[in-house]
Amino acid sequence: MTSSPPAPEPGLRKRIGAPGRDMTRPEVPEALPIPLYDNHTHLEFEDGIDQLEPLESLDRAEAAGVRGVVQVGTDLETSRWSAQLAASDPRVLAAVALHPNEAPKLFARGELSAHLSEISRLAAEPRVRAVGETGLDFFRTGEDGREAQIEAFETHIDIAKANGIAMQIHDRDAHDEVVATLLRVGAPEKTVFHCFSGDAKLARICNDRGWFMSFAGTMTFKNAPALREALAVAKPELILAETDAPFLTPEPFRGRPNAPYLLPHTVRRMAETLNMPLDELCAQLAANTERVYGSWDPEEAAA
């Protein structure tokens, strides 16, 4: 825990933001009454205005009552970096995987299996507590990439099971196929739908199977009543909260750069939707998160 935290290599940073978009950072909101965790974030992204360094981002998050994050890889480089950051900062745990939109590209270059072996090696590190994000994305990847996506998804499922760690699923326009794959090969004990995008029907399936549903800023959007319905249906012990930063900034800041310190906006909206006292929801979310990933505290994890 003493090595200095790695700054993202310039080449690792991907730029977001579009010309003309308001890219100023919202204020740090009032802190949540009970500290909790951001279940899914990408700290390596550059957002087009300032370079919010990972450590500063984590400091801001702490000030807002977000005491820890799961830093998620999407390819080999970001997965390695995520594992390094987690090894160097007690506020970070890592998830490692090849994103479903990356897998078909790697397959086409003949590199998929070598990269999966390296993900498998990283998954054994003590502060890597999830395989993710993996899954299926039929929105950005066409029919021709489907086979590679499914192959990569199944291998990631095996890696999560072999290491006894959680799995974070990226599911975009692919609910039925994701569920079918999980039922066919058997889901890891701790399976999380990251940025849950289903409706009440999928929430009921998750309830029945004991799969976790992680709600992102999308649940605050005006055009997302189905997500709020799903949240209301979800078993309280299966809900989680995340930012998926730098994307999906919650209202009232939709479109501006996201970071873990903005998670309270989503959590407050979740409490409203559930008609639940905020402190009770925060305690529930913190407990659920620790149940999925284990403790962030290096001492406790070693004990």
| Two tokens, residue 296 | 């962030």
**252 preceded by cis ω (within 30°)?**
yes
25 near Zn ion (CB under 5 A): no
Task: State the binding string over 114-133 for Zn ion (x if CB under 5 A, else -).
Answer: -------------------x
One of 25, 127, 129, 170 touching Zn ion (CB under 5 A): 170
Residue number with CB closer to Zn ion (179 or 271): 179
Q: By C-alpha distance, which of 164, 203, 156 is closest to 182?
A: 156
Residue 32 in contact with residue 66, Cβ under 8 Å? Answer: yes
Q: By C-alpha distance, which of 153, 151, 163 is closest to 189?
A: 163
CB of residue 37 to Zn ion, shortest distance in Å: 15
Helix/strand number for the chain, H first, E second = 11, 8
Q: DSSP readout, 214-244?
A: EE-GGGGSTT-HHHHHHHHHS-GGGEEE---
Site of tokens 């998929």 = 112
CB of residue 192 to Zn ion, shortest distance in Å: 11
Span of 144-152, 163-171, 204-212, 277-285 interacting with Zn ion by CB under 5 A: 163-171
Q: How many residues bind Zn ion (CB under 5 A)?
A: 3
CB of residue 279 to Zn ion, shortest distance in Å: 28
Residue number with CB closer to Zn ion (46 or 133): 133
Between the alpha carbon of residue 171 and those of residues 177, 178, 277, the distances in Å are 9, 7, 30
CB of residue 244 to Zn ion, shortest distance in Å: 5
Q: Which residue is nearest to Zn ion (CB)?
A: 170
Task: State the binding string over 201-240 for Zn ion (x if CB under 5 A, else -).
Answer: ----------------------------------------
CB of residue 133 to Zn ion, shortest distance in Å: 5
DSSP 3-state assignment of 169? strand
One of 244, 250, 258, 284 touching Zn ion (CB under 5 A): 244
| Two tokens, residue 186 | 């058997």
Q: Which residues bind Zn ion (CB under 5 A)?
A: 133, 170, 244
